[in-house]
Chains A and B, each alone.
Chain A
């Protein structure tokens, strides 16, 4: 009894972190840091944020920090509910689900996963590119559905060679650089488009995505989603890439005009696509489900066993830094 009271008292002193979602890593995270932070998790209750806070006697103004995932929108409305909020921490690299302008206006710091997932996401980007170009998943499907009595394999058409192909990376950030590094030994020629030309990088820079697409045999989309990059891959870019071209997207669904992409794939205006992200997840356009030259991935590129543990450490580290007034580990500018 005394211990319970002691624990409750202890809990009152801990800084509060409101958890939206919760993020996939939360079951691993919570036991690791429950002695340091008081996690408030409205999700299991099914109540709205306001109701939950009222029910548990947490005044909204007592909440200094929010932890969320990419699936939870931190809009101006949500921010308005929390007048004393000073930190939004997301478990994703992406920040398109957070109203960054409003955070900036209110002086709320934002932190994310930084480059934590870059290698894993790059691995999947390359896997999707090799798969769609060499028809690996399609051939696997062909064998599983056709080969019941030693059907000859002549019916299966050849894929495209990777060596010597020009691959345009759209967004040469942390993920884009890891993709480039992996594609080089395949003999691919790397070109890129980014917000700004990178002085330290020797790959040819294209300020126009259309020009990049015209020159390239494949595009790998790795950039962040914001006002400038929404539908950066539009009909013009897709047509410029051409009938033998391939698109891989491991960024955000909103980077590609999905309706146009589907139309171009259906009409054979491009060669194929490898997609880990979609405009309205978990919805995947029905036409794609039947296509042989498309590889579909359920937005799982960042999720490996090792990255979950690393993520917990990073989240904990950012929270510790924040509450001891030290600089955040992975602040979002």
Chain B
């Protein structure tokens, strides 16, 4: 009785794991009785070779669990003829070749707005930190000998600041809500103007930057948003301007950002994401007006638990009932849809 025999056992499905999704250790522990986890993330071998070492036929693999650390490319999909379901543990789907999935009829599912509040909390945390130099002061106090006085630099006040949200989706909306409570003036740029939104809309990011004291980047990574925050935008924001990014690293021209920070062309930055994670530009380590975060926006203990439950539920829904479109499951405690399906026939090119 080899692994081949268990393919037909509904209890133990092969699941290809790419990435490594941050929830995977917990998920694996909870679901080891349901799936054979093919941990491709841990192997340097090309996928076909990796599967061969596990004695697994590529045609037996119908589902992928992934996260942005490993791209789901057309090449990978090309060797998996039975692929039907890709589940990413993030809101973003830019690491997945969506046009190829659409062509093949593969369902792609993300966690949607499940972690929007956590990411928004991180955005605000980073923003206030940069402005009030919380992390920098924390470092300074630790360096100070007890007898010295606690010196600090005076900060600019947060209240009254004009803050431009780039991408007013679920996350951007949560950010705006929080900023209002600090008496900030909120404005935004998005792909389209949103009806029923009280904030002023700017169709042009440079214009938004010129009218703001800070930008909070919350948008997904697409062909249109790659490097949307470029030198022109940063110069328009100005020498006291602050940029916070909780979207995707490549939304900002990182080389330019570093240059502008080093040259004092902008006032500071709070960054949860980077162009080539986990690589962080070394120049930033020397700066006190920058706060660095290891892509932790969506990661809290509590959201990890909820994600595990929802990933388990959606995988089960796929393997058990194989529906064309998996329905959204509303969690009564959180009132969030459990995930968002990419419609099979969407005309919008999304792959960056």
Residue numbers in A under 8 Å from B144 (CB-CB): 282, 284
Tell me which residues from 297 to 327 in chain A have a Cβ below 8 Å from any Cβ of chain B. 297-300, 303-308
The verdict on A150 contacting chain B, using a C-beta distance below 8 Å, is: yes
* Alpha-carbon distance A284/B141, docked complex (angstroms): 8
With A136-B122, A161-B300, A284-B141 given, is the CB distance from A143 to B292 under 8 Å?
A: yes
Which chain B residue lies CB-closest to A304?
B157
The reply to whether B134 and A297 contact each other, CB–CB distance below 8 Å, is yes
Among B146, B147, B148, B181, contact of A185 (Cβ-Cβ < 8 Å): B181
Tell me which residues from 233 to 254 in chain A have a Cβ below 8 Å from any Cβ of chain B. none
Which chain A residue lies CB-closest to B121?
A162
* Alpha-carbon distance A181/B159, docked complex (angstroms): 13
Residue numbers in B under 8 Å from A161 (CB-CB): 117-118, 121, 300-303
B183 to chain A, nearest CB (A): 7
The reply to whether B125 and A136 contact each other, CB–CB distance below 8 Å, is yes
Residue numbers in B under 8 Å from A305 (CB-CB): 154-157
The verdict on B294 contacting chain A, using a C-beta distance below 8 Å, is: yes
The reply to whether B293 and A136 contact each other, CB–CB distance below 8 Å, is yes
Residue numbers in B under 8 Å from A307 (CB-CB): 157
The reply to whether B280 and A147 contact each other, CB–CB distance below 8 Å, is yes
Per-residue contact bits, chain B 132-174, to A (CB 8 Å; 1 contact, 0 not): 1011011111101011111110111111100000000000001
* Alpha-carbon distance A187/B124, docked complex (angstroms): 14
The reply to whether A120 and B146 contact each other, CB–CB distance below 8 Å, is no
The verdict on A166 contacting chain B, using a C-beta distance below 8 Å, is: no
* Alpha-carbon distance A34/B121, docked complex (angstroms): 46
Residue numbers in A under 8 Å from B278 (CB-CB): 147, 150-153
Residue numbers in B under 8 Å from A303 (CB-CB): 152, 154-155
The verdict on B73 contacting chain A, using a C-beta distance below 8 Å, is: no
The reply to whether A159 and B294 contact each other, CB–CB distance below 8 Å, is no
Residue numbers in B under 8 Å from A182 (CB-CB): 178, 181-182
Among B129, B152, B183, contact of A298 (Cβ-Cβ < 8 Å): B152
A9 to chain B, nearest CB (A): 37
The reply to whether A186 and B294 contact each other, CB–CB distance below 8 Å, is no
* Alpha-carbon distance A225/B206, docked complex (angstroms): 48
B289 to chain A, nearest CB (A): 12
A-B pair number, CB within 8 angstroms: 184
Residue numbers in A under 8 Å from B20 (CB-CB): 154
Residue numbers in B under 8 Å from A143 (CB-CB): 280, 285, 292-294
The reply to whether A297 and B138 contact each other, CB–CB distance below 8 Å, is yes
Among A123, A131, A144, contact of B292 (Cβ-Cβ < 8 Å): A144
The reply to whether A300 and B137 contact each other, CB–CB distance below 8 Å, is yes
The verdict on B291 contacting chain A, using a C-beta distance below 8 Å, is: yes
Residue numbers in B under 8 Å from A299 (CB-CB): 150
The reply to whether B141 and A296 contact each other, CB–CB distance below 8 Å, is yes
The reply to whether A136 and B291 contact each other, CB–CB distance below 8 Å, is yes
With A140-B292, A187-B117 given, is the CB distance from A283 to B146 under 8 Å?
A: yes
Residue numbers in B under 8 Å from A297 (CB-CB): 134, 137-138, 141
The reply to whether A123 and B182 contact each other, CB–CB distance below 8 Å, is yes
The verdict on B304 contacting chain A, using a C-beta distance below 8 Å, is: yes
The reply to whether A163 and B117 contact each other, CB–CB distance below 8 Å, is yes
Residue numbers in B under 8 Å from A150 (CB-CB): 278-279
* Alpha-carbon distance A127/B182, docked complex (angstroms): 11
* Alpha-carbon distance A153/B279, docked complex (angstroms): 10
The reply to whether A156 and B294 contact each other, CB–CB distance below 8 Å, is yes
* Alpha-carbon distance A299/B144, docked complex (angstroms): 14
The verdict on B57 contacting chain A, using a C-beta distance below 8 Å, is: no
* Alpha-carbon distance A160/B279, docked complex (angstroms): 25
The verdict on A108 contacting chain B, using a C-beta distance below 8 Å, is: no
A279 to chain B, nearest CB (A): 13
The verdict on B104 contacting chain A, using a C-beta distance below 8 Å, is: no
Residue numbers in B under 8 Å from A295 (CB-CB): 134, 138
With A130-B121, A154-B22, A300-B137 given, is the CB distance from A137 to B178 under 8 Å?
A: no
Which chain A residue lies CB-closest to B117?
A163
Residue numbers in A under 8 Å from B141 (CB-CB): 284, 289, 296-298
Which chain B residue lies CB-closest to A301?
B132
The verdict on B330 contacting chain A, using a C-beta distance below 8 Å, is: no
* Alpha-carbon distance A184/B157, docked complex (angstroms): 20
Residue numbers in B under 8 Å from A183 (CB-CB): 181
Tell me which residues from 256 to 299 in chain A have a Cβ below 8 Å from any Cβ of chain B. 281-284, 286, 289-290, 295-299
Residue numbers in B under 8 Å from A187 (CB-CB): 117
The verdict on A191 contacting chain B, using a C-beta distance below 8 Å, is: no
B311 to chain A, nearest CB (A): 16
Which chain A residue lies CB-closest to B177?
A185
* Alpha-carbon distance A144/B281, docked complex (angstroms): 11
The reply to whether B150 and A282 contact each other, CB–CB distance below 8 Å, is yes
The reply to whether B301 and A158 contact each other, CB–CB distance below 8 Å, is yes
B169 to chain A, nearest CB (A): 17
The verdict on B227 contacting chain A, using a C-beta distance below 8 Å, is: no
* Alpha-carbon distance A284/B7, docked complex (angstroms): 62
The reply to whether B182 and A298 contact each other, CB–CB distance below 8 Å, is no
The reply to whether A159 and B292 contact each other, CB–CB distance below 8 Å, is no
B206 to chain A, nearest CB (A): 27
The reply to whether B159 and A289 contact each other, CB–CB distance below 8 Å, is no
The reply to whether B156 and A296 contact each other, CB–CB distance below 8 Å, is no
With A150-B278, A295-B134 given, is the CB distance from A140 to B157 under 8 Å?
A: no
Chain B residues within 8 Å of A, Cβ to Cβ: 20, 22, 117-118, 121-122, 124-126, 128-129, 132, 134-135, 137-142, 144, 146-152, 154-160, 174, 177-178, 180-183, 277-280, 282, 285, 291-296, 299-304
Besides A124-B134, A126-B182, A305-B154, 9 other A-B contacts (C-beta < 8 A): A130-B124, A137-B135, A139-B292, A139-B294, A182-B182, A185-B177, A283-B146, A284-B146, A298-B137
Would you mind naming 27 contact pairs between A and B with Cβ atoms under 8 Å apart? A123-B158, A123-B182, A136-B293, A139-B296, A140-B293, A147-B280, A148-B282, A153-B277, A153-B294, A153-B296, A156-B294, A160-B302, A161-B118, A161-B121, A163-B117, A163-B121, A164-B302, A184-B181, A282-B144, A283-B147, A286-B146, A295-B138, A296-B137, A298-B151, A300-B154, A303-B155, A304-B155
3 closest pairs, A vs B, by CB?
A298-B150, A153-B294, A130-B125
